[in-house]
Amino acid sequence: MILIISVIIFVLVEGILIFSIIRYRERPGAPNPFQNHGNLKLELVWTVIPTLVLFVILFFTIRGLLYVAPENEPAASASQPKIEVTAIGHQWWWEFYYPNYHVTTADTLEVPVNTTVHVNLFSNNVIHSFWVPALTGKTDVVPGHNNTKWFVAEKAGTYTGICAEYCGTQHANMRFNVKVVNNNDFQSWVSTQQQAAAAPTDPLAQKGAALFKNQCSSCHGIVGVNLKQFYNTAQECTDLPGGKANGTPECLIGPNLTHFGSRNLLAGGVLDNNTANGNCDPNNPNLMQQCNLAKWLKDPQGVKPGNDMNIGELTNDQIQQLVAYLEGLK
């Protein structure tokens, strides 16, 4: 409604301005315009009308704020189901934990259509802001002050989310997607995500699994490899009261990679996980040029300067092995 009002005002004002420029422009031989003191009625009109318009905008603004307020979140019912998600802001990527399903993912928040999504917002580093422009407004993610929000996605599709609060050098690259699917697809996704990672059978992927254990497991977790289960880092990996301190074996600095191969984004949304057309086929002779995961493993600081990825220099063979393993984790 506010957008409609703003567009009407813009068109009206610009229309009058253009008309006045054309109709009352100076012409050759025209006398000087008549000078008068002013028009009190006209001045009152263009003072009162904008005031009334601002009150109308204020009304719709307050109504919208009250509608999306946490205390107005719809109660769960058969016609309006609800799921709960904890969104954890890292520097610079988003982690999503589903407490009712005990699964963790990163970069993509998957939710069912026409369902109330209750989001617990958490950060133990700096202030972030959770924003999905097409679905919901901004809510700050403040260390020590766990905000909440809710939204309902009425149409299936993929929506872009961002961090709307400057949080460091890669703030602009702290992106995520909200993938809205039907309820059956969501339940299938949950069932798959709850499973531990399957052991690879391909020899190249097996080498990648061994490499992961030796070089990557100190920062990343995979259920069935170096983790027994998914866990809520907002509760278990914080220096705040009630949580464990950072540095315990469970509190890993990087995203959980248990089902990495099923994700559409990587590196905090700065890259697509472009597996189509054989780009990330380990036997692709142009793997280093065409596969975004390979580019990330080759030079993470070049892709996203300042991030916490410190894997050391990998050979092309090692990257090939890791790509075979990680992209196979569906």
- 162-199 pLDDT, tens digit each: 999 999 999 999 999 999 999 999 999 999 999 999 99
Task: Give the Å distances, CA to CA, from 111 to 23, 136, 259, 269.
Answer: 56, 14, 17, 18
- Report the percentage of the chain scoring pLDDT > 90: 65
Helix (H) or strand (E) holding 152: strand 148-152
Question: How sure is the predictor about 33, in pLDDT bands with cuts at 50, 70 and 90?
Answer: confident
Question: How sure is the predictor about 100, in pLDDT bands with cuts at 50, 70 and 90?
Answer: very high
Question: How sure is the predictor about 23, in pLDDT bands with cuts at 50, 70 and 90?
Answer: confident
The predicted pLDDT at position 250 comes to 56
Beta strands in the chain, from DSSP E residues, in sequence order: 82-89, 94-98, 103-106, 108-112, 116-122, 128-132, 136-141, 148-152, 157-163, 175-181, 265-266, 271-272
> What is the reported pTM?
0.82
**CB distance 99 to 175 below 8 Å:** no
pLDDT at 26 over 70: yes
Question: Looking only at Cα atoms, what is the longest distance across the chain?
Answer: 92
How crowded is residue 220: how many other Cβ atoms within 10 Å of its Cβ? 22
| Cα–Cα distance measured from residue 81 to residue 76, given in angstroms and rounded to the nearest whole number | 5
> Between 45 and 178, where is the model more confident?
178
Instruction: Quickly list DSSP for 104-148.
Output: EEESEEEEETT-EEEEEEE-SSS-EEEEETTTEEEEEEBTTB--E
Helix (H) or strand (E) holding 209: helix 203-211
| Cα–Cα distance measured from residue 184 to residue 112, given in angstroms and rounded to the nearest whole number | 8
pLDDT at 31 over 60: yes
Task: Give the Å distances, CA to CA, from 53 to 4, 60, 78, 212, 327.
Answer: 12, 11, 41, 61, 55
| Cα–Cα distance measured from residue 32 to residue 263, given in angstroms and rounded to the nearest whole number | 71
> Between 6 and 132, where is the model more confident?
132
Highest mean pLDDT among 63-67, 142-146, 288-292: 288-292
**CB distance 269 to 176 below 8 Å:** yes
pLDDT at 82 over 80: yes
| Amino acid sitting at position 302 | G
Over residues 47-68, the pLDDT tens digits come to 998 899 899 889 988 888 888 7
Token pair of 227, please?
Answer: 């983790």
Mean pLDDT for the stretch of residues 101-110: 95
pLDDT at 247 over 70: no
Q: Tokens 């009109």 — which residue? A: 45
Q: 14 exposed, middle or buried (CB, 10 Å; 0-12, 13-18, 19+)?
A: exposed
| Domains present along the chain, CATH in parentheses | 82-193 (2.60.40.420), 203-326 (2.60.40.420)
User: Facing residues of 261 across strands?
Assistant: none
Reduced to 3 states (helix: H, G, I; strand: E, B; else coil), residue 222 is coil
Question: How sure is the predictor about 239, in pLDDT bands with cuts at 50, 70 and 90?
Answer: low
Helix (H) or strand (E) holding 95: strand 94-98
pLDDT at 220 over 70: yes
Mean pLDDT for the stretch of residues 258-283: 93
pLDDT at 314 over 50: yes
**Backbone CA torsion sign across 200, 201, 205, 210:** positive
The predicted pLDDT at position 218 comes to 85
